[in-house]
Structure 1
Amino acid sequence: MVHGWPGSFYEFYGMIPLLTEMSDSTDLVFEVVCPSIPGYGFSEAPHKTGFDSVCAARIFHKLMRRLGYQQFYAHGGDWGWLVTSNMAQLEPRIIKGLHVNFAPPSTLGLPLALSLMFGWWFPRLFGFTDMDIQRLYPCMEKLVKESVAESGYMHIQATKPDTVGRALNDSPVGLAAYILEKFSTWTCHDFRDLEDGGLTRKFTLDDLLTNVMIYWTSGCIVSSMRFYKENFGKGLDQPHSKMPVHVPTGFACFPNEVMHSPKLWVKQKYHNLVAFSPMACGGHFAAMEEPQLMAEDLQKFIKTIEKKTKQP
């Protein structure tokens, strides 16, 4: 299971016992590996430029081979979505199944463009649900305005990561403010209007500060932010962005995710989409916010794959 920014391996802490211990006789029991992307947490930062998601995918494949796994399932959100998707693209025979909870469009293809233009008037034609309509329209407000309002950090980190990163490494309060703001706004849009950001409505202070301390004690905020520059600096038309993913894929669609992805859009990239699960609640840090829901969906998805592989 692979994390993103500004998260860490600790995002999955609450999920681990739900996956490694059997709660009933039908549960699958897993060995769970939660690595840190190089440059995050206690994983050494890359020493050369150009370390992007594909490089991370290669390293994680090497890690799993050294741990003795010939085949395995992968899960990811945020950057973890891209890293695990790249893993599936690089070695599809090794990834038995891919489960993600974040899947923004890689390219603006014709189906996506047409669905945006006409989905409001003909939702059934594009398979849009009520949640899709609510999250996508009106487009100018829900997509353009929201993207501009919430993507300032991304522009900074994709262009000048060292500048702001050095400042954050010098101030624990500044670092906490920079990270925790995301755990507020990316968990629920309405939390932006609350004085305390609604942080403790979904998380405990211990969990939030544990994640912050992983960044503070390791001093990794600069290298973690540089991952944006290494990926976006190469442009948005990288070969992997145009390549489909053919391994069996499951998508957990959380209602408060930063960027909403209807089923039609997800299928443009993931050609073997075997499960699309609209979730009852949850936002961007779903594994940390709703570990029970995420674990249940992961169990359900993998049971489906295992059942298919055992059929004659």
Structure 2
Amino acid sequence: MPSDVHAYEARATDADLADLRARLAAARLPEAETVPHDAPGARRWAQGVPLADLVALVHYWRTGYDWRKFEARLDRIGQFRTTIDGLGIHFLHRRSPRADATPLLLTHGWPGSIAEFVDVVDELAEPERADAPAFHVVVPSLPGFGYSDRPATTGWGTEKTAAAWVELMARLGYGTFVAHGGDWGGNITTVLAGRFPAHVLGIHTTFAEGLPGAATDGLTETERRWAEETRHFWRHRAAYAKQQATRPQTIGYALVDSPVGLLAWILDKFAEWSDTEDSPFETMSRDRILDNVTLYWLTRTGASAARIYHESHNALDPALRVDVPSAITMYPRDIEKYPRPWAQERYRRIVRWNTPEAGGHFPSLEVPGYFVEDLREGLAAVLAAPR
């Protein structure tokens, strides 16, 4: 291991966990939402997280949830830290035993974390099938997220983070690698591929933003619906992004001080952005979502994580082009879906385009088995493409 990379163990103190339980027990809650409690499906969530759902989850978080299991899971994968440009970066690193393994960088987004990938790392590194591709898997925590340091100055946007990821992979001995990401991780993966093609062999992403002002002429009916759904999302459902892009410090006080406030702020997105009808727990583990929220809570990163919006909201360079091989998957219930003709204006070597029948914004948690197979097939196409 390089001398500037050291092993790391995440350990919350018993006092911190007791404080969390005490705050949950003392939480002050509002009255119930004023929508019919028997409203079907998404209508029940029309004003946000329903009170009954939150009360039940808070009770479980306080009395049944076990954070120590998640700490042990991170230890089994392998945790490390290194300092890049003066900022401590935390990451998971699972080397494959296979001699033919390819280095793979997985980047999460908001309101996710490394918790998004803990259930797929082992299968990617050491697949059950001998004919499946294997990967040396690296999963960094974004600056200001989890056990990475919280930046004390401006500047840690997607461009600087992408450059830091190239340095991180080099320190691990990976001069070239493939990369995957969704949400902010997809944005960063796009920057990686566009800015550092000598290091990035190719990418797989669930985020493939086209260029500003793209026309709808020539789009299929499905593609027109995607474009309209994406526009509707940004016009009517993106208040969280505008808040975090303009006043992350203000919302940050609530997110760092109140575990119930933090839980509601994040759970709302897991519900609204997933391929579910009435609850995110239809497809995602209650424990894994609480692992994600508890990680934000214990590291006090509600404000610092929100600042990625202040640094990089609408900042993807319109002139940026991706010329490395790209595999793109558009899950049907994701919040941003871009028609292939739009994506092709930026990603100029799309070697695989996939539109699954199920899945939303968090596919590694919602449909982990499918996610692994799709990622493998996409990266296999990327690696098979002519250089």
TM-score band by shorter chain is 0.7 to 0.9
Who is 1:121 aligned against? none
**Structure having the larger proportion of residues in helix:** 1
Q: How many residues align?
A: 282
Distance 2:140 2:262 in 1: 22
Q: Tell me, what secondary structure is at the counterpart of 1:155?
A: helix
User: For each residue in 1:80-138, what CA deviation from the matched residue of structure 2 results, as whole angstroms up to 9, or x when unmatched?
Assistant: 01111111122101101111012233422xxx21x2xx4xxxxxx44x3x5434434xx
Q: Tell me the amino acid that sits aligned with residue 216 of structure 1.
A: W
C-alpha change, 1:241 and 1:37, in structure 2 (3 Å) is farther
Question: How far did residue 28 of structure 1 move?
Answer: 1.0
C-alpha change, 1:15 and 1:131, in structure 2 (3 Å) is farther
TM-score of the aligned structures, taking structure 1 as reference length:
0.85
Who is 1:258 aligned against? 335
**Any unmatched runs of 5+ in structure 1?**
119-124
2:326 aligns with one of 249, 255, 273: 249
Task: Name the structure, 1 or 2, with higher relative contact order (CA <8 Å, separation 6+).
Answer: 1
Distance 2:315 2:164 in 1: 22
Who is 1:45 aligned against? 150
C-alpha change, 1:264 and 1:14, in structure 2 (3 Å) is same
Who is 1:22 aligned against? 127
C-alpha change, 1:17 and 1:237, in structure 2 (3 Å) is closer
C-alpha change, 1:55 and 1:237, in structure 2 (3 Å) is closer
- RMSD between aligned alpha carbons? 1.8
Segments of 4+ moved more than 4 angstroms: none
Distance 1:30 1:245 in 2: 23
Who is 1:288 aligned against? 365
Identity of counterpart residues, as a percentage?
A: 33
Q: Tell me the amino acid that sits aligned with residue 128 of structure 2.
A: S
Q: Tell me the amino acid that sits aligned with residue 268 of structure 2.
A: E
2:375 aligns with one of 288, 294, 298: 298
CA contact (8 A) 1:37 1:43 kept: yes
Who is 1:201 aligned against? 282
Q: Tell me, what secondary structure is at the counterpart of 2:337?
A: coil
Structure exhibiting the larger radius of gyration computed from Cα positions: 2
CA contact (8 A) 1:41 1:220 kept: yes
Who is 2:165 aligned against? 60
C-alpha change, 1:241 and 1:287, in structure 2 (3 Å) is farther
TM-score of the aligned structures, taking structure 2 as reference length:
0.69
**Any unmatched runs of 5+ in structure 2?**
1-105
Aligned 1:1-312 pairs, distance under 5 A: 1-108=106-213, 112-113=214-215, 115=216, 118=217, 125-126=218-219, 128=220, 131-136=222-227, 139=228, 142-188=229-275, 191=277, 194=278, 198-232=279-313, 236=314, 240-309=317-386
**Structure having the larger proportion of residues in strand:** 2
Distance 1:90 1:284 in 2: 25
User: For each residue in 1:244-269, what CA deviation from the matched residue of structure 2 results, as whole angstroms up to 9, or x when unmatched?
Assistant: 11110000110001011111111111
Who is 2:101 aligned against? none
CA contact (8 A) 1:18 1:292 kept: no
